[in-house]
């Protein structure tokens, strides 16, 4: 008789532990939260990579401005719409696209 009671008690404890673990894993703090956090981490890693590439691009642009006189002059002229003496600049307006 004691053996049956002990086995039932062990079965009850095992069932309680199994149910508790299953309930925790299905709760908002369990697997769904872990999956959401994993997705958020991946998106942040992608954003970091994009920002690193953007930063590298800007560094290369600044380096080129520092070292290449013709490139610097070209960019300044484009930004400020400047022209050299005796130079004619023709500005062609963009044509609006036909709306559908």
Of 95 and 71, more confident: 71
The predicted-structure confidence for 1-30, as pLDDT tens digits, reads as follows: 888 889 889 999 999 999 888 887 777 777
Predicted pLDDT at 53: 97
pTM of the full structure: 0.55
Is a pLDDT exceeding 70 seen at residue 100?
no
Q: What is the pLDDT of residue 41?
A: 97
For the chain, where are the alpha helices, taking DSSP H only?
Answer: 2-26, 31-67, 69-80
pLDDT tens-digit readout, 36-90? 899 999 999 999 999 999 999 999 999 999 999 999 988 888 888 777 788 777 7
Q: List Cα–Cα distances, 10 to 7, 18, 20, 67, in angstroms.
A: 5, 12, 15, 78
């Amino acid at each position: 008789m004691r053996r049956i009671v002990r086995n039932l008690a062990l079965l009850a404890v095992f069932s309680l532990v199994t149910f508790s673990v299953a309930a925790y894993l299905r709760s908002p703090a369990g697997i769904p939260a872990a999956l959401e956090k994993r997705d958020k981490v991946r998106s942040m890693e992608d954003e970091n990579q994009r920002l690193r590439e953007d930063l590298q691009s800007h560094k290369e642009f600044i380096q080129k401005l520092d070292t290449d006189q013709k490139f610097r002059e070209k960019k300044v002229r484009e930004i400020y719409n400047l022209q050299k003496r005796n130079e004619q600049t023709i500005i062609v307006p963009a044509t609006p696209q036909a709306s559908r």
